[in-house]
Amino acid sequence: VAIADVSWFVTPGSELDREARKRGNSTYLPDYVVPMLPEKLSNDLCSLKEGLDRPALCADMRFDKDGRKRGHRFYRAMIRSQAGLSYNEAQDAIDGAVNDHAAPVLESAVKPLYAAYAAVKKGRDHRSPLDLDLPERKILFDETGHVDGVKLRERFDAHRLIEEFMIQANVAAAETVEEFKLPLIYRVHDQPDPEKMDGVRTFLDSMNYTLARGQTLKPSNLNAVLHEAEQRDESMMIGQVVLRAQAQAIYDTENISHFGLNLRRYAHFTSPIRRYADLTVHRSIVAGLNLGKGAQSEREANELASIAEDISVLERQ
């Protein structure tokens, strides 16, 4: 997993860094983005464009056939993307409808990538994270800029593949920084509030679903309800009820684990262009591995707790 090396360009305490921290993240509106970083970085120098050399921070991860991670390492590299495929192009290619753009990398990259995902998916299924596979909605506009409608975005295995590899890279990042005993901003997700869950149980009882009381709640308990709802063609409604009962995921230097993903340690690493948290994690890795420019400064290390609090508030806003 190769991620644009934003820490090489945006160093701690620089003017770029101060502005990025003030924004906290890129803000996405239906037809417009307010970026965390200037477009020269976000859309050019830190964009892994097809056929161009770009600096990256890379996570090499090794999994066995059952999806158990056997090891990982991080390093800086200069990479050149051979094909910037869309999700649709990648999915069509693996399904047999290969276009000219995907054809040169089908055997060398696309097929091995899907085979790797098949192994990692076994590990995901065994871990049993909260299975809220709710569809995204895209707002459509007419030529005058007014809302013309809303449509559901279809989700493919191509989306799930990228999602799972990003999750694994985030886990590897957290583990690596912990190895060096450096301060780290985790992405944490607390268990659902017991009072909210009582309300959920009451609602589920009225719909003839069963969610046991008096036991430690696990994502797998909720997944059993969600899978039953899918069989009964009520997955959209039940999924929304389960979603609204969840705690808000936040950034914190104290690790309380991630309930939804069912992971003990998790840190955002894969989107430093649009999330300040990821940039701080990159800097921690660069510092721990002595990779040079852009490493975490002592000042930033001391401020991580307040940074985590600030960017959590900014995310909510």
Grouped pLDDT means (10 residues each) for the chain, 317 residues: 97 96 93 93 94 97 96 97 95 96 96 96 95 85 93 90 97 97 96 92 92 84 94 92 94 97 97 98 97 96 97 94
Exposed, middle or buried, 113 (CB in 10 Å: 0-12/13-18/19+)? Answer: middle
Q: Provide the sign of the torsion angle of the four alpha carbons 116, 119, 121, 124, taken in this order.
A: negative
Strand partners, 62: 71
The phi, psi pair for 34, rounded to 5°, reads -100, 105
Q: Quick check: helix, strand or coil at residue 275?
A: strand
Q: Which has the closest alpha carbon to 156: 100, 83, 109, 92?
A: 92
The phi, psi pair for 258, rounded to 5°, reads -125, 105
Residue 92: partners with Cβ closer than 8 Å, 6 or more residues away: 98, 99, 102
Integer Rg of the chain from CA: 21
pLDDT of residue 155: 86
Quote the tokens at residue 216: 């430690």
DSSP 169-216: HHHHHHHHHHHTT----EEEBPPPPHHHHHHHHHHHHHTT----SSS-
pLDDT of residue 154: 83
pLDDT of residue 177: 97
pTM for this model (two decimals): 0.93
pLDDT of residue 10: 97
pLDDT of residue 276: 98
pLDDT of residue 32: 87
Q: Quick check: helix, strand or coil at residue 163?
A: helix
